[in-house]
Amino acid sequence: MSKLIKFTIIVIPVFLFGLFIGFVIPDTLISDTLNDGKNIESFSQNPKPINIDEYVQIRTNQDIHEKRQELINLIWKSDSLPSQKPTVEYNYVDERFSDLRNLQKIEKISLNMGHGFISHTYLFLPDNSNGKLIIYHQGHSGGFINGKKTIQDFLDSGFSVAAFSMPLIGMNNQPIVNIDNVGPVKFLKHNQFVLLESEEFSSLALFFTPITSTLNYLENNYSFSEFHMVGISGGGWTSTVYPALDSRILKSFSVAGSLPLSLRNTVNDVGDYEQFHPKLYSTTNYFEIYVLSSVGKDRGFYQIFNTNDPCCFSGETFKVYHEPLKKIISQFNSGDFDIFIDDTHDQHIISPFSTNLIIDKLS
């Protein structure tokens, strides 16, 4: 084979792939969004406290309300949370969970959304209940079957559990969507969601609408005294942002779920499309999201970082904003924020240490 032919075979596909990546995620999108909407210095090389006042524009309860409304409008193109009703299969049997203790029954809650996306949720109802419900949200590594041990721990403590997986993951489907000027595209990864964005639709709705719909169903059919939220990895991201949108969530716990964009200095910490969605983080930033999820009567938002996490958000970078952000939130009359480190293992999990911490905070 001639050198010219070899050059053509190797170089041209690489060049075209580069063009494709540049089209799907332009350099300007990444550079613009990695600043939380502002030109923030990178602190991880020389950690020091951040002047949070410079980045958090939320100062009053009215500011909380207005920012929340702005985000709801961005995600759902509406002034209110969605009211879509799910379909429910009562007394659902899934042999994978048949050995769970203190389990009365499972309900399968399904929701059809835009562009053919379908979400499936399991509601685990215990025999002996404390009247409280935990929304458990799994990350990118698989469906909520991967969180079976954590679900069992919550059931053992009397909590009902509504278990979710991220879009495209677990039992959730991977539809083929016809995209204008592109054609039919099978959606397999979250980074493809950039193709769905329009003035009429935000892909962020795919992450949050199933939670809203399930909460509406639970409110109308059960009498839970409290709703809380726990998530790992991508589920930790969801457990960070969703409580900022819906104050029905009282206490939320994000395990290895997020850092402010300006503090992400390793490839693994950049995350999928939702972690740096340009419109979301030009409307607000992670610091403000943490405030929105923390403030309110009986509310609190807690981050748990695995010190030796092999996946993402390891170490102690959070120290540069921990105390400054606590101070901001303490200026409101209600709400709590804190960060905990888990150095008991070297995995990307919700460990027994973290599970016990969460249950203690909710007891």
3-state secondary structure 43-89: CCCCCCCCCHHHCCCCCCHHHHHHHHHHHHHHHHCCCCCCCCCCEEE
Could you report the per-residue pLDDT of 321-358, keeping only the tens digit for each? 999 999 999 999 899 999 999 999 999 999 999 999 99
- Say yes or no: 161 and 214 in one domain: yes
Question: What is the average pLDDT across 212-222?
Answer: 98
Share of the chain above pLDDT 90, in %: 84
Query: Same domain, yes or no, for 15 and 135?
Result: no
Buried b (16+ CB within 10 A) or exposed e, 235-245: bbbbbbbbbbb
- In this prediction, residue 49 has a pLDDT band, given cuts at 50, 70 and 90, of low
Same domain, 60 and 21: no
Do 29 and 45 fall into the same domain? no
- Do both 169 and 101 map to the same domain? yes
Nearest residue to 140 via CA among 64, 235, 210, 43: 235
**249 lies in the same domain as 112:** yes
Q: In this structure, what CATH number is given to the domain that contains residue 344?
A: 3.40.50.1820
Per-residue tokens: 226: 């409290």
Cβ distance 330 to 280 under 8 Å?
no
**Domain shared by 15 and 79, yes or no:** no
3 state DSSP class of 251: strand
Residues 15 and 129 in one domain: no
| Residue 270: C-alpha distances to residues 89, 91, 180, 231 (Å) | 38, 40, 29, 18
pLDDT surpassing 70 at residue 42: no
What is the average pLDDT score of the chain?
89
Angle at which helix 286-294 crosses helix 61-76, to 10 degrees, equals: 110
Q: Are residues 64 and 15 in the same domain?
A: no
CB burial of 302-313 (b: ≥16 within 10 Å; e: otherwise) equals bbbbbeebebbb
- Tens of pLDDT, residue by residue over 67-76, are 999 999 999 9
Strand segments, DSSP code E, in 67-213 are 87-89, 105-112, 118-125, 132-137, 160-164, 176-179, 183-186
Q: State the pTM of this model.
A: 0.87
Whether 3 has a pLDDT exceeding 80, the answer reads no
**156: Cβ–Cβ under 8 A, 6 or more apart, which residues?**
101, 102
Q: Is the pLDDT of residue 36 over 50?
A: no
2 and 80 part of one domain: no
Structure tokens at 110: 């399904």
**Co-location of 150 and 185 in the same domain:** yes
User: In the predicted model, is pLDDT for residue 223 greater than 60?
Assistant: yes
* 7 and 58 fall within a common domain: no
- The answer to whether residue 27 scores a pLDDT higher than 50 is no
Q: Which domain holds residue 355?
A: 40-362
**Alpha carbons 280 and 262: distance in angstroms, whole number:** 15
Residue 12 has pLDDT above 90, yes or no: no
Count the domains in the chain.
Answer: 2
Task: Say if residue 28 is exposed, middle or buried (CB neighbours under 10 Å; 0-12, 13-18, 19+).
Answer: exposed
